[in-house]
A and B are shown apart, each in its own frame.
Chain A
Amino acid sequence: DGGITQSPKYLFRKEGQNVTLSCEQNLNHDAMYWYRQDPGQGLRLIYYSQIVNDFQKGDIAEGYSVSREKKESFPLTVTSAQKNPTAFYLCATSGYNEQFFGPGTRLTVL
């Protein structure tokens, strides 16, 4: 099956800990994105990557980091510097004029 996988589906973190969210795709798309979704806020862009070994900050990059060592993978690390990390995180790739989204990871900080 072609698509985007994100893991884990649910993630619990203690304050002060870094956590890494996984995103893998087999659609052979160059561009990949990380969004954060909060109730009533819509999708906000964290980081995006147009090509391997290159990525750019989105609108809310503070407290997050990414890497793009392989075309298939775009992991997101939520660092302890992120003040309010509890949210639903969505990974996406870009096809021709549409975005394909993964199933999301719900992160809760305890």
Chain B
Amino acid sequence: SQKIEQNSEALNIQEGKTATLTCNYTNYSPAYLQWYRQDPGRGPVFLLLIRENEKEKRKERLKVTFDTTLKQSLFHITASQPADSATYLCALGGMNRDDKIIFGKGTRLHILP
């Protein structure tokens, strides 16, 4: 069955450093991969999408890579700030519009001042 793993349940990073979160998947060939941010008690908010034919995508201090050979995505936050502390979810989507999106369990990121 399809499986998506975010291999750190929680991650502590010193303010100013780069935070790197990992998302691995098996038994799936996604057309795209997404990253969402979720704050406690709130719904997830979309951050970035990267397609299967893209290697890297950037948005301000965020960078996402996508390696379909390794079946892995890395999500980087550079110059991290305490306000970046949240849970980050990765999600996979298929080719067809009615394909369900599959979510990982998330990584809780704590940026330490």
Contacts and interface: CB of A to CB of B under 8 A. Distances in A.
Interface of A: 4, 31, 35, 40-43, 45, 48, 50, 58, 88, 90, 92, 94, 97-104, 106
A100 B36 CA distance: 10
Given A104-B41, A104-B42, A104-B43, A45 B100 contact: yes
Contact of A48 (B44, B100, B103, B105): B100
B86 to A, nearest CB: 14
Given A42-B89, A42-B104, A101 B44 contact: yes
Contact of A101 (B43, B97, B98, B105): B43
A41 B34 contact: no
Interface of B: 9, 32, 34, 36, 41-46, 49, 89, 91, 93, 97-98, 100-101, 103-106
Contacts of B105: 40-42
A43 B103 contact: yes
Secondary structure at the B interface, as helix, strand, loop or mixed, is: loop
Contacts, number: 48
- Among B9, B43, B97, B104, max chain A CB count under 10 A is at B43
Contact of A100 (B46, B91, B104): B46
Contact of A98 (B41, B46, B97): B46
A49 B91 CA distance: 19
Contacts of B9: 40
Nearest to A104: B43
Given A43-B89, A104-B41, A99 B100 contact: no
Given A42-B103, A58-B100, A97 B49 contact: yes
Contacts of A104: 41-43
Contacts of B42: 103-104
Nearest to A30: B97
26 contacts: A4-B43, A31-B97, A35-B103, A40-B105, A41-B105, A42-B89, A42-B103, A42-B104, A42-B105, A43-B44, A43-B89, A43-B103, A45-B100, A48-B100, A50-B98, A58-B100, A90-B43, A97-B34, A97-B93, A98-B46, A98-B49, A99-B34, A99-B36, A100-B46, A101-B44, A104-B43
